[in-house]
Structure 1
C-alpha cells in the first residue's frame, strides 16, 4: 500500500508555546483530512497572529488536547530534548481471524512527523538563536524574547503552508471514505514513549514502515 510521509520543518519552542504550536499544526492536518460531516470553526491562536481551522467536532478536539497534555508531560521529564510527534492516518482492513490475531489490521497510508526542539531560555542570554537579533547593553531580555517569538510565528506559518502544499499535491494515496458518518479518516497521534525517547520511537518507525507488526503474521 502506498504510504506518504511528510516531515514538517523543525520548530524551536519554549515550554509555554508548545500547546498553541501543536494545536495549530494538528488541527490543520486533521481538518485537511476531514470528510463531509464537519462544521469548520475558525480559531484565533492565543499566542500568535494566526487563525487556523478546526473540524468543529468535540471528540476530535478532546483527543488532540489529551495527546498534547501527554506530550507536555513527557517534555517536563525530558527537558531540552528534541522530540517528534507522529500523526498517522490508516484504514482498517478485515483479516482472516485465527485464535491469536484480531479480525482487523491497520494499514497506514499517511504519516506526519512534527519536529519540536523545546528550549529553556535563560533571562540573561544576549543572543537569539533564530531571530539574528543581538541584544545591546541597553536592551532588555524581554525584547529578545519578543523577537524570538516573532521568528517562531513566521516559522509556524511556513509549517502550515507546508501542510497545505502537501495535501494539495498528494492525493492519489487517499483510500475510499470508510463510512458516511465519519468526521475524519481514522487516525492516531503518537508521542515519544515515557520510558524514553529514541528506542520507543525507532521501534515505532520500523513498525510503520512495515505497515503492521511482523510478529504473529
Structure 2
C-alpha cells in the first residue's frame, strides 16, 4: 500500500493559540480530502487575519474538538516540549488470507504530521484574546508584539499553502471512494503518548489492529 506522508512545517505557538491553530489546520486537511457534497463554512480566526473553510459537518467538528482537547491536556502534562499530532487516512480491507476469519485491517494511505513548539504562558483564562496576546509578549514593546503575531500568521499561512500544494500534487495514492456514506474517508487523529519515542510504532500498531472503520454517518 502506497502511503504518502506530509510533515507540516513546525509552528511556534503560545498555549492559548493551540485550539485555533489546530482547528484551522485539521479542518483545512479534512475539507480538501472530503467526499461528495459538503456545506462549506468560512471561519475567521480571532487571533490571526486568516479565514479557512470547514466542511460544515457537526459530528466532524465535535470529533476534531475532542482530539484537540486531548492534545492540549497532553501538552499541559509535558510543558516546554515540542509536540506532534497525526491525522491518518486509511482504507478498510477484509483479510481473506486467514480462513474462516472476518477480520479486517486498516491500510494507511496518507498521514499528516502537525508539529507545534508550544510556549506556556501564565493563566489568563478570564482575559480576552487581545489581553492574552499582550501577556504573551510581556516586557516587549507593542511593535515587537505585533511583529511576533505577524510572524506567526505568516508561518500558519505557509502551512496552509503546504497543505494545498500537497493535495494538488499527491493524488495517485488515493483509494476508491468507500461505499459507505459520509463526508470523509476513514480517518484517525492520533495524539502522542507520554513516551514520544514509541509514538510512531504505537500509532502504526493501532492502525493495523482489527476493528470497524471510523466513518461519519
* TM-score tier (shorter): 0.7 to 0.9
Give the drift of 1:182. 1.6
Q: Which blocks of at least 5 consecutive residues in structure 1 are unaligned? A: 123-134
Q: CA deviation at 1:99?
A: 9.9
Counterpart in the other structure of 1:45: 45
Structure 1, 95-104 or 17-26: larger mean CA deviation: 95-104
Cα offsets for 1:118-161 (capped at 9, x unmatched): 01369xxxxxxxxxxxx9xxx84554333212110100000000
Q: Does 1:26 align with 2:22?
A: no
CA contact (8 A) 2:10 2:115 kept: yes
Cα distance in 2 for residues equivalent to 1:93 and 1:75: 34
Matches within 5 A, 1:12-161: 12-96=12-96, 103-120=103-120, 140-161=140-161
State the match for 1:198 in structure 2: 196
Q: Residue 188 of structure 2 aligns with which residue? A: 188
Deviation string for 1:158-209 (max 9, x for gaps)?
000000000000000000000262211111100111xx1313314236648x
SS of the aligned residue for 1:185 comes to: coil
Q: TM-score, normalised by structure 2?
A: 0.81
41-50 or 161-170: bigger deviation: 41-50
Q: Could you list the per-position Cα deviations for residues 70-95 of structure 1 after superposition, in whole angstroms to 9, with x for gaps in the alignment?
A: 00011111100001110000011112
Question: Equivalent residue of 2:166, what SS?
Answer: helix
TM-score (normalised: structure 1): 0.81
Kept in 2: contact 1:97–1:103 (CA 8 A): no
Q: 5+ unaligned residues in a row in structure 2: which ranges? A: 123-136, 210-217
SS at match of 1:5: strand
1:146 is paired with a residue whose SS is helix
Q: Is the CA contact (8 Å cut-off) linking 2:3 and 2:109 kept in structure 1?
A: yes
Distance 1:16 1:189 in 2: 21
